[in-house]
Each structure stands twice: as C-alpha cells, then as structure tokens.
Amino acid sequence: MRSDPPTKSDVPMRSDPPTRSNAPKGSGGLKYLLAVALATFAFALFPQIHTASAHREQVLSSLDAVASSPSVRVHSTTDEMAAKTLAMAERAWNRLRPRFQNSPTEPVEVFVVEDDAEYERIQPASMTRGFATFGGNRIYLRGSDLDQEVVTHEMAHILLGANVPPGLRIPDWFNEGFAQFVSGADDHTIEVLYMVTSDRVLGFSALAKIDALRGPDRDVATIQGFAVVRFLADRYGEEQLWALVTRLSHATDFDQALVDTYERSDLQLSEDWLAYASDEYGLLSLMGLRMIGTMALGALALLAVTIWLGAAIRRSIRSPSPLDLTDAEIEEAERAERLQ
Ligand SMILES: [Zn+2]
C-alpha cells in the first residue's frame, strides 16, 4: 500500500505512524509481552511521536473546504484558499507529470493548514513551508507562506517518490536538490559561496550522510543538494538529469544509477563537482568577484556615512546651542550685575 506514509517528506516525515501493524502474529506470549513492554517504553520515551501524528489527523479532519480535479484534491479552511491552491497544484502537476513514467495511484491529497500554530505542531522539523509523504500521495502546506514554488517543490517529491521502487533509498541531497531545481527556487548562491570559501563543500559520499530533517547541517541537503543538481544539469545537460530519474524507477542502488547515467565513477563525479564548485562559487569566480564588489561598495558607503556623521557631530559641538548667550545678553547681564 503506497497511498500513505512510507514517509519521507519536505523532507522525510519519519514521525508518521507505520501503515501496517507491527504487532507480532501469534508466535507466543513472551514475544508479545516483550513487544508490549517495548512499545510502552518507546511511547514513554517519545510521547511527541504519538501526539504529533494524532494531532495531525485531528487538524486535517477539520479542513472542510475541498477543491478537486481528477489528479489533485485540496483540503483547506476556506473555499477561496482551496481553489487558489488547486490552481497552483494543477500547474505543478501539468508541468512535471509528463516527465515521469508513473504517478500515484490515487489523486494527490493537499492539506493547507492556515493556522500557523497548528502547522508548527504537525511539521516534521522546524521552519518548513511544506512537506510531503515520499512514496505516498500527501502534501502538507503552511497556509501563511504559500506560493507556486513550494507547491511545485512538494509535487516533485510526490512524483519522484511514485517513480522509485519502495526499497530504494534516495539520498536527501538529491531529493531536496531535485525538488529545488524543478521548482525554480532561489539558488542560495551566497550560502554556497560561503561554504566554498570556508571549505565546507562536501563530496558525494559525505553529502549522502546529511539528514535533511535533523542535525546542525540539515540545510546542507537543500543548499548543496541544489548546487549539485545544478552542476549535473549544467555540465551534462538537463535531459541526462531526467534520464537519471527514469533510471531510478528500476534501480536497486542510487549511486549505481548515477554511475550508469553519467558513465563516470562516483569518485570522478564527486571530484568534478568539487572542482565545479570552486570554479563557480569560489572567491575568484565571477559570482565571488561580484559579491566582493558588492561588499566593497557597501564598505565604502559605510565609510562615507561614518565620515559624514563624525563631521556632523563635530559641527554640532562647535556651533552655538540655544543655551548659549549672545553678546547682547552678556552685556545686559553684566549691566544688571553692576546695578545691583
Ligand atoms: Zn523538500
């Protein structure tokens, strides 16, 4: 059953409940007792896992406004939001669907949570604008920060998920980078430039270990993942990228699919990427020079403002304040003193 959670989301939504029951099937009381004890222990240790998914179902069931087409069904609080989101989801679907061999067997269910606090309680990681069940058909969106880009990004996760065999692990950098690439997201040039200049650009094998949901480097999956997908498209053409996506539908290993598509070993490909990154984003690259230029202009402007401010302060110290006495006033005061 692929209609819901084997979950990866905006990334992976690992806090979702498994779709099939994990209860042991009639193999003795001891195993059963052990399972119950373990489950109780797990729930005591991670109560948020249970409450988050229970809360999610509760929030979703309150979204009464529905707008649908044959391929997408949107659930929201207001008819207006549902219709607006459906138009964006249809646009994303019509643009991406022809590039994939398969689509989910059921219509894509899109849930727009307009209440920010509610959305924050159901999101799988902080600061997301949306997430999707990879290998499933559900998209969840933050209603207060909704645009075509995020809808297309999540639709890309759904379609990619529907086109890879259930057991095939897609690294987060590719899942996120691909979704960023096809949705025309901001390319994070400054962040990549910073990573290149501070020596934090990762090769393929290190990148494969980055979890897009957890850890201090979780942004790396999105930022560098996008840069790597752009590198693949730039260097080998966008059609090869789609050829890789098609190949994934019958692959047993992501790295092997990469090697077969680009006909280079993963080590060579990784070295090409690192060389491309320092050419494209290093300080001496066009983008680097442009950024240094912008920063130098900024520094000059700051210097000019500082000099002007200093001069203005000095001027104000030297010029008479309203409390200063004029010559006439001093004269008058002295005359008054003499009269006393
Ligand atoms: Zn994503």
CATH code of residue 106: 3.40.30.160
Both 98 and 46 in one domain: the answer is yes
**Rounded to the nearest whole angstrom, what is the distance from the C-alpha of residue 268 to the centroid of ligand 1?**
27
Both 262 and 315 in one domain: the answer is no
Among 282, 304, 322, the domain boundary falls at: 282
**Rounded to the nearest whole angstrom, what is the distance from the C-alpha of residue 172 to the centroid of ligand 1?**
9
**Rounded to the nearest whole angstrom, what is the distance from the C-alpha of residue 10 to the centroid of ligand 1?**
4
**Rounded to the nearest whole angstrom, what is the distance from the C-alpha of residue 125 to the centroid of ligand 1?**
11
Helix and strand counts by DSSP (H, E) for the chain: 14, 5
Both 133 and 187 in one domain: the answer is no
**Rounded to the nearest whole angstrom, what is the distance from the C-alpha of residue 179 to the centroid of ligand 1?**
6
Both 273 and 294 in one domain: the answer is no
Per-residue pLDDT, 60: 86
**Rounded to the nearest whole angstrom, what is the distance from the C-alpha of residue 178 to the centroid of ligand 1?**
9
Identify whether 24 is part of a domain: no
**Rounded to the nearest whole angstrom, what is the distance from the C-alpha of residue 175 to the centroid of ligand 1?**
7
**Rounded to the nearest whole angstrom, what is the distance from the C-alpha of residue 298 to the centroid of ligand 1?**
34
Q: Residue 78: which domain range?
A: 29-162
**Rounded to the nearest whole angstrom, what is the distance from the C-alpha of residue 153 to the centroid of ligand 1?**
6
Both 108 and 181 in one domain: the answer is no
Identify whether 302 is part of a domain: yes
Identify whether 14 is part of a domain: no
Both 157 and 33 in one domain: the answer is yes
**Rounded to the nearest whole angstrom, what is the distance from the C-alpha of residue 44 to the centroid of ligand 1?**
30
Both 310 and 208 in one domain: the answer is no
Both 158 and 73 in one domain: the answer is yes
**Rounded to the nearest whole angstrom, what is the distance from the C-alpha of residue 139 to the centroid of ligand 1?**
11
Report the Cα–Cα distance between both ends of the chain, in Å, rounded. Answer: 107
Identify whether 339 is part of a domain: no
Both 225 and 185 in one domain: the answer is yes
What is 6-71 written as a DSSP string?
S---SS--TTSPPSS-----SS-HHHHHHHHHHHHHHHHH-HHHHHHHHHHHHHHHT--EEEE-SS
**Rounded to the nearest whole angstrom, what is the distance from the C-alpha of residue 309 to the centroid of ligand 1?**
47
**Rounded to the nearest whole angstrom, what is the distance from the C-alpha of residue 280 to the centroid of ligand 1?**
24
Q: What is the pLDDT along the chain (340 residues), one digit of tens a residue?
A: 344 443 444 544 333 333 333 333 334 455 555 555 655 554 444 444 456 677 788 888 889 999 999 999 999 999 999 999 999 999 999 999 999 999 999 999 999 999 999 999 999 888 899 999 999 999 999 999 999 999 999 999 999 999 999 899 999 999 999 999 999 988 788 888 888 888 889 999 999 999 988 888 888 889 999 999 999 999 999 999 999 999 999 999 999 999 999 999 989 999 999 999 999 887 777 777 777 788 888 888 888 888 888 887 777 666 545 455 567 766 776 777 666 6
Identify whether 49 is part of a domain: yes
Both 186 and 127 in one domain: the answer is no
Helix axes of 266-281 and 218-236: crossing angle, nearest 10 degrees: 90
**Rounded to the nearest whole angstrom, what is the distance from the C-alpha of residue 3 to the centroid of ligand 1?**
19
Per-residue pLDDT, 24: 36
**Rounded to the nearest whole angstrom, what is the distance from the C-alpha of residue 180 to the centroid of ligand 1?**
7
Per-residue pLDDT, 31: 57
Identify whether 324 is part of a domain: yes
Find out whether 287 and 202 touch, Cβ atoms under 8 Å: no
**Rounded to the nearest whole angstrom, what is the distance from the C-alpha of residue 186 to the centroid of ligand 1?**
13
Identify whether 11 is part of a domain: no
Among 282, 305, 321, the domain boundary falls at: 282
**Structurally, how many domains does the chain consist of?**
3
Distance, CA of 287 to CA of 195 (rounded, Å): 13
Going 117 to 118 to 119 to 124, the CA torsion angle's sign is positive
Among 114, 143, 162, the domain boundary falls at: 162
Identify whether 220 is part of a domain: yes
Distance, CA of 30 to CA of 262 (rounded, Å): 52
Both 156 and 179 in one domain: the answer is no
Distance, CA of 157 to CA of 136 (rounded, Å): 9
Find out whether 276 and 231 touch, Cβ atoms under 8 Å: yes
In this structure, the dihedral spanned by the alpha carbons of residues 108, 224, 210 and 134, taken in order and rounded to 10 degrees, is 10
**Rounded to the nearest whole angstrom, what is the distance from the C-alpha of residue 109 to the centroid of ligand 1?**
16
Both 184 and 296 in one domain: the answer is no
**Rounded to the nearest whole angstrom, what is the distance from the C-alpha of residue 225 to the centroid of ligand 1?**
11
Buried b (16+ CB within 10 A) or exposed e, 216-251: ebbbbbbbbbbbbbbbbeeebeeeebebbbbebbeb
**Rounded to the nearest whole angstrom, what is the distance from the C-alpha of residue 13 to the centroid of ligand 1?**
11
Distance, CA of 96 to CA of 172 (rounded, Å): 20
